[in-house]
A and B are shown apart, each in its own frame.
Chain A
Amino acid sequence: MAAVETTVAPQAGAPGMTMLDIAGLNVSYPVYEEEPVRAVRDLDLSVRSGEIVGLVGESGSGKTTLARAVMGLLTQPGRIDTGSIQFDGKDMRALSENQLRAIRGRDIAMVIPNPRSELDPLIPVGKQIAAVARAHLDIGRAEADAMALDMLKAVHIPDPTRRFRAFPHELSGGMAQRVVMAISLVCSPKFVISDDATSGLDVTVQAQVLDLLRTLVREHDTSMLFITRDVGITAHFCDRVAVIYRGEIVEFAETADFFENPQHPYSVMLLAAFAHNPALRNKWHKPLASTEAEAGRACLYAPRCVHREDECDERHPDLRELGGARHLVRCHFPVERVA
């Protein structure tokens, strides 16, 4: 497995320095009397200070598991087997629960989908924003309320003074999503993880919310890991794009480079699906890999790959640098653009 930017010594806050550095991360979910399910495999990923990195993959590819692992909040019975997670120079795996609690919501904030089921139905939304501010900043009730109101204004909620007292069920999906953004940004975190945050919204609302998120993140010089199923969104949103397949990064490149020169067959497939090109899409229906044992030796994507060769079944490809400027791909036979 190739080392990705682990050479840079993390230095808090400085621009261009590594904010989040994940190396060799393995997360698995034990299954009763069977092999554990490996949700994240030997994953290397780094996000520099002020950078937005997109993480694209289908459902079940380990995107959310990765986000939870970073927060130290894996769902039971998931566990981190090996690997390191460095955040802002701190080894997240070595921190105590209370130390993590102090970082969550303060330094790393999460923007989540389905805000209607995740906001507290019994508390006015303004108070929920203020509660997070009060939990992390040394401020009084009045000051926290004022901050919450400012955040509601910052996320462009109409009539913020009235909405401050509104309950989540009184808000539309788009507005609830803005409240969640207000909650995540109220403490001016260094790092935001957006986990499929806009998947529940109408396309037009989605575009507004995303625009706002990007503006706010850029304004505060916050780094972001932007997790999505929609490869199209990453094009005008992210500095770099990583593609994850069955817990493995299969391609990682600068956004422009990725869209111009995708090299992994799976990336091509994602882009084709996004572009509604049926000629490529029709070849999606291939069986999934037969067993985990076999998958350990073979390329995980081989069973679905249109360019599958014998070698793909025999040897698991490493993530290697190809095509210049930090374009990483995990494939024996990277695709090339036909002129």
Chain B
Amino acid sequence: MRILRYIGRRFLFIGPQLFGIILVSFLLVKLIPGDPAVMMLGPFATEQQIAMLNAEMGLEGTIIDQFWIYLQNLVQGDLGTSWQTTKPVFDDLAIRFPATLELVTLSLLLALLIGIPLGVAAAYFKRSIVKKFSDYYGLLAGSLPDFWLGLILIYLFYTIMQVAPAPLGRIDFAVLPPAPVTNFLIIDSLIAGNWQALWSTLGHLVLPVVTLAVINAGPILKMTQATMERMLESDLIRYAEMCGLPKSVVIRKAFRNSLPSVVTIVSVLYGFLIGGAVLVEIVFSWGGAGQYAVQGVLNADINPVLGFVLFSAILSLIIYLLVDLIYFAIDPRIRG
């Protein structure tokens, strides 16, 4: 099977790819000004204390020595400790990454539900209101900042109409969260059968998901529309029309042939939003991975930053592998 060989080859490259990513991000993080030991011990620390702490954190000697220590710990599954949360970075990310993934995944699903039908309709009905609407929508979604839209939604639905829960995290303080299994609150609530927690989680997801979906539906819509327009003018579709195939069949045919570019834009958005959703996470006090990494950068807390980069890199590799598998599934020419 060609596909198995392909996946096998992909896995062979994952090791070297990850090493490269870690090396580059380690060097870049080291360029951030600020000495973590100084930050941790405060302004009255002695030289000696600082040196001791640096040694403890594996931050003495040349940059190569430091990288070597980091790699050795990494192989043992130790991503270091964040001095801000005083917890192992791995444990922090195990909670925060699912938080972000839950948010981003649902947002992109909703964005697809908005962007694809609008894009297809705008491409097919060229002189319709839908097309006008799609043009303006694409323009607006491209120019509005997502955190601003988030604030507006909070103001409307929480402050004024009081239908949305307070923008303070993923679940009500008063609600007992489900036992952590996957740290995806929806899944954990379902496992625990904790309907109250599920309801509260879903309620808290609505506004941030809508915020991200409305903004990110823009590029999905544009991509769908552009590809569909090109496809509808193609020889392929002209021939389908000549054969007198029903309108619905023709549109479906055009869409199926446009699908690869939609999959591509979604995969790009997904990878981007893991870190790119940070402003929306801050607005909703989401406690996600992006927020964690930014705190790390601002406070010279390098382990969270490196951990975040590593997690994101692995996730991106998984996403791209999935995308390739999807291409395999939809296009017989690649399947070969």
Interface residues of A (CB under 8 A from B): 71, 73, 75, 100-106, 109-110, 112, 114, 117-122, 131-132, 135-136, 167, 169, 183-184
Contacts and interface: CB of A to CB of B under 8 A. Distances in A.
A121 B243 contact: no
B243 A122 contact: no
Contact of A135 (B236, B239, B243, B331): B243
Q: 5 tightest A-B contacts by CB?
A: A104-B244, A105-B244, A105-B243, A118-B239, A167-B332
17 contacts: A73-B238, A75-B238, A101-B245, A104-B242, A105-B242, A105-B245, A106-B244, A110-B242, A119-B236, A120-B236, A121-B236, A122-B257, A122-B330, A132-B244, A135-B243, A135-B245, A169-B333
Given A117-B235, A119-B239, A136 B333 contact: no
B33 interface: no
A102 B245 CA distance: 8
B246 interface: yes
A290 to B, nearest CB: 33
DSSP class of B's interface residues: helix, strand, loop or mixed? helix
B331 A112 contact: no
A320 B152 CA distance: 76
A118 B235 contact: yes
A131 B249 contact: yes
Nearest to A166: B332
Given A101-B247, A135-B249, 9 more contacts: A104-B242, A109-B243, A112-B235, A117-B236, A121-B333, A132-B245, A135-B243, A135-B246, A136-B244
Interface string B314-336: 00000000000000001111000
B240 interface: yes
Nearest to B256: A122
A131 B245 contact: yes
Contacts of A103: 244
Contact of B243 (A114, A132, A167): A132
A95 to B, nearest CB: 12
Contacts of B253: 120
Given A73-B238, A73-B241, A169-B332, A121 B257 contact: yes
B123 to A, nearest CB: 14
A122 B331 contact: yes
Nearest to B238: A73
